[in-house]
Amino acid sequence: MPKNESPRFPANRRVVSLVYDGLCTFEFGITAEVFGLDRPEVGPNWYQFKSVSLEDQVLHACGGLTIAATGTETDLHRAGTIIVPGWRGPDAPVPDQICNALVRAHRGGARIVSICGGAFVLAAAGLLDGRRATTHWRFAEELARRYPAIEIDASCLYIDEGDILTSAGSSAGIDLCLHIVRSDFGSELANMVARRLVMYSHRQGGQSQFIERPVPMKREADRLSSILDHVQANLQHPHTVSSLARQAGMSERTFQRRFCSLTGLPTHKWILRERLEQARNLLESSPSALDDIARIAGLGSAENLRLQFGRYYGVSPSIYRDRFARRPEIVQARLKHTGQSS
């Protein structure tokens, strides 16, 4: 925050975290840590935090805990921000009372936030219809299938739609909560909270860098399966629609239509994705120089690897290797290798 900028304060500083039977304790802990702790350095204008349950029963949480919320439904409807910290499962129905309360609060001007699987609660309430949203990458396909009116983007750590905000998997909730603090109070106070949490105030890249290797949704005994296997085994060689269609015994037009139906991607985009996945695996498991990794993966040069990897994953190859190398000696070998940069 510039020195001449005065701290901003949200008009409604009341924050409610919804608690429920089967509560995800980590996700709830994020909300309590960011919004529920006293911040003497901020003064009396910090958030007023409450936990609220709308289920009339004894609540159990992950980890063998029994919990009781201290807030009331009145607190929920007075809140400026309501957070749904996860949900008990993508297949678990959302009670009408929760859906109705969230819709009513949103109509009253509340900002509604979800962490991880909490997006299923917002979706069930109809609050995500016609909007962009994200959730944990493992749940994104199911959320999109059930609620086609939502534009799902599984690559993001969080998405801010103004009055509706969603985050990806668990720890991405920290990124979103810090983003909310930054929006409400400015970057200086958000950085202060991040330092207390001993983490970056803003992480590079999106959720893509954490997603397991994608595979086609349908791998039946289709004659294209052998083509996919061939390309994956020979990524270092050039592949064109023409050569692959000829190998499959199809016209180029038929090949492209069936390939896209099988993999969900046009041929050139699927091949690029597979090459980047190969490069990512090598960054995790091998101390090889970037030029060698680029050659093995069929990306040509370290320069092209940096360009394509950064576009797809949101981080440079070297930063990714530093974060995710499976053995410490891989990182040390890279650091000793002269002439290699991020």
Residue 250 is part of a domain; what is its CATH number?
1.10.10.60
Is 9 among the domain residues?
Answer: no
Q: Are residues 80 and 204 in the same domain?
A: yes
Q: Are residues 46 and 166 in the same domain?
A: yes
Q: Are residues 263 and 307 in the same domain?
A: yes
CB of 325 closer than 8 Å to CB of 332: no
Q: Are residues 285 and 314 in the same domain?
A: yes
Whether 215 has a pLDDT exceeding 70, the answer reads no
Q: Are residues 192 and 57 in the same domain?
A: yes
Total domains present in the chain: 2
Q: What is the pLDDT of residue 174?
A: 92
Token duo for residue 187: 């970057």
Instruction: Reduce the DSSP state of residue 67 to 3 states and report it.
Output: strand
What is the torsional sign of CA 84, 148, 312, 246? positive
Q: How far is CA 84 from CA 23, 38, 134, 158, 298, in A?
A: 10, 21, 14, 14, 44
Which tens digit of pLDDT belongs to each residue from 279-289?
988 998 888 99
Q: Are residues 205 and 242 in the same domain?
A: no
Is 177 among the domain residues?
Answer: yes
Residue 55 is part of which domain span? 14-210
Picking from 210, 245, 267, the residue at the C-terminal end of a domain is 210
Which tens digit of pLDDT belongs to each residue from 246-270?
998 899 998 988 888 777 778 998 8
| Domain CATH for 126 | 3.40.50.880
Q: How far is CA 212 from CA 115, 208, 245, 281, in A?
A: 20, 9, 28, 11
Picking from 153, 186, 210, the residue at the C-terminal end of a domain is 210
Q: How far is CA 96 from CA 58, 166, 225, 243, in A?
A: 18, 21, 45, 55
Token duo for residue 156: 């993001």
Question: Which of these, 117, 53, 128, lies nearest to 87 by C-alpha position?
Answer: 117
Strands 164-167 and 158-160: antiparallel
Q: What are phi and psi of 48, to 5 degrees?
A: -110, 115
Is 342 among the domain residues?
Answer: no
Indicate the pTM of the whole model. Answer: 0.65
- Looking at this protein, which amino acid is placed at residue 88? R
Is 23 among the domain residues?
Answer: yes
Picking from 166, 186, 210, the residue at the C-terminal end of a domain is 210
Which tens digit of pLDDT belongs to each residue from 28-45?
999 999 999 988 878 888
Q: What is the pLDDT of residue 336?
A: 53
Q: Are residues 229 and 206 in the same domain?
A: no
